[in-house]
Structure 1
């Protein structure tokens, strides 16, 4: 979570709290250190957010502080709601948690007549899709793609044969029943698709491939277009 997102989250928690929130409890739930919480509270106070309290006592927010409403119309809110609900089909637990945070933020900043749409009772989305037993940290995979960092994996193919690979990951495809990692395989010296449910182990390497991601994605798209044209 970025610092700006964490500050936003802290504001939400303080506004909803019925009693002072301890730095230790906030640090535990946000997975940061208490020192980080102290710094964040000082930052909020410097931005004139009405936070009161101190280390060892707890923090509260004076009443009357509101975030500005976000101007989404009803259909836009429903589009976001359905999109967030569809994430349950991907098997990506990190994205599902992020979707929960998005919904919580929207509920805070939407006008009352829009925020009530977020209860989702009038729009139901089937959760059938990718099995939820994917053991990989999919947030780590997406991080590797964003930062153009190499991955080391142990893979089992459809015949049960095991191999170790060094990959340059460039994309993830969320199919209906499986999730596939698209990557340049240094062993095969070609672009390959790897089903996540067949990756037994995965680690983020210190090596990177910065500046190559866009070119590899263009190559992948060209190969896919050529295959579709045949």
Structure 2
């Protein structure tokens, strides 16, 4: 989790807490070290966020501090509820957990009538859910797309032949049965789609393609009128 996201999460935790929260409890929730939480608390206090407390006794947020209110219409809230429900149909476990956290945050911030719209269970996303890929962490792929970081794959084609690839991931497409990684394949020297259910192993590298992501996405989309990228 990046520091900016972590600072926001700490504020949200303290805003919704009914009692002082220890650094250890927050560290467990955010899956970071206790030392990171201590540093983040100091940083937030330096930004005049009214956090009080200390090591061993926990931290609280003084009353009166709040983030800008969320103002949604009923239709906008229904759109959010249905969008979050659709994430349950992906094989991306990290996104499914994120959807649950979004629901909790919105429920804690919106007025009662809109909260009822979220909790009413009147909207459903029906259909089969894509299984989580065995050899691939889709969260790792999304982070590599954001950071423009190269990945290595062990990939099997439709005939079962395995190859090792170095790719520059630029997009993820979620289908009902699987997810496809769109990437520049250094072996094929072209844009290729990689089905997540055919990836046997995936790992991040120490190599990056900084500044190339937008150009590669333009190359990818420019071919849409001709034919989709091949599945490698």
TM-score range, shorter chain: 0.7 to 0.9
| Cα distance change on mapping 1:146 and 1:24 into 2, 3 Å | same
Please report how far the alpha carbon of residue 68 of structure 1 lies from its aligned counterpart in structure 2 after TM superposition: 4.1
- Check whether the contact 1:69–1:111 (CA below 8 A) recurs between aligned residues: no
Task: Give the gaps of 5 or more residues in structure 2.
Answer: none
Task: Give the gaps of 5 or more residues in structure 1.
Answer: none
Structure 1: distance between partners of 2:216 and 2:188: 15
| Cα distance change on mapping 1:223 and 1:45 into 2, 3 Å | closer
Name the structure 1 match of 2:154.
154
Structure 2: distance between partners of 1:47 and 1:73: 32
- Check whether the contact 1:180–1:194 (CA below 8 A) recurs between aligned residues: yes
With normalisation by structure 2, the TM-score equals: 0.87
- Check whether the contact 2:133–2:196 (CA below 8 A) recurs between aligned residues: no
Name the structure 2 match of 1:211.
211
- Check whether the contact 2:134–2:200 (CA below 8 A) recurs between aligned residues: no
Structure 1: distance between partners of 2:3 and 2:115: 25
With normalisation by structure 1, the TM-score equals: 0.88
Q: Which has the higher helix share?
A: 1
Matched residue pairs, number?
228
Deviations 1:5-43 (A, max 9, x none): 333322333343343322112112212222222233334
Name the structure 2 match of 1:76.
76
Structure 1: distance between partners of 2:61 and 2:214: 45
Deviations 1:91-115 (A, max 9, x none): 1111112222222221222222212
**RMSD, matched Cα:** 2.2
